[in-house]
Amino acid sequence: MPKTIVQKVVFKNTTAKALYELYMDAKKHSLVIGAPAKISAKEGIKYSAHGGYINGKNLQLVKDKLIVQSWKAEDWDKEDIDSTFIILLEPKGKDVILHMTHANVPDKHSAGVKSGWYDYYWKPWKKYISEK
């Protein structure tokens, strides 16, 4: 049974624009995760991250606010459907609350995907932001 992962992460002293760019700008995305990413802030465009380990398509983008993508990892079974990945950025004073929902993640991969968002994205993002 596929799982839905929901995470809420507070980023201190930053802007929704800065976080949106960290994800949607290929150079910044690659730099912060330490692996190649090909991504563009255009709806309908395919993207890849972690050197092609993650692939999908931008489904809906609202600049500096919302990212909705299809998302699938290379090691998922062929019959596994693409998952849906959503980031909603909520400015709160000098901080930004990132609301993440990752739906239809295959059960056997859910624990790894859940921890992976922290290990490969949220923690490196916080480090990057704190050094700016």
The pLDDT confidence band at residue 54, using thresholds 50, 70 and 90, is: very high
Range of the domain at 101: 3-130
The pLDDT confidence band at residue 51, using thresholds 50, 70 and 90, is: very high
**Number of folded domains in the chain?**
1
Please compute the mean of the pLDDT values over residues 106-128 and round it to a whole number. 97
Task: Encode pLDDT of 57-75 as tens digits.
Answer: 999 999 999 999 999 999 9
pLDDT at position 132: 79
Q: What is the pTM of this model?
A: 0.96
The CATH number linked to 32 is 3.30.530.20
Phi-psi region of 93 (alpha: psi -120 to 50; beta: other; left: phi over 0): left
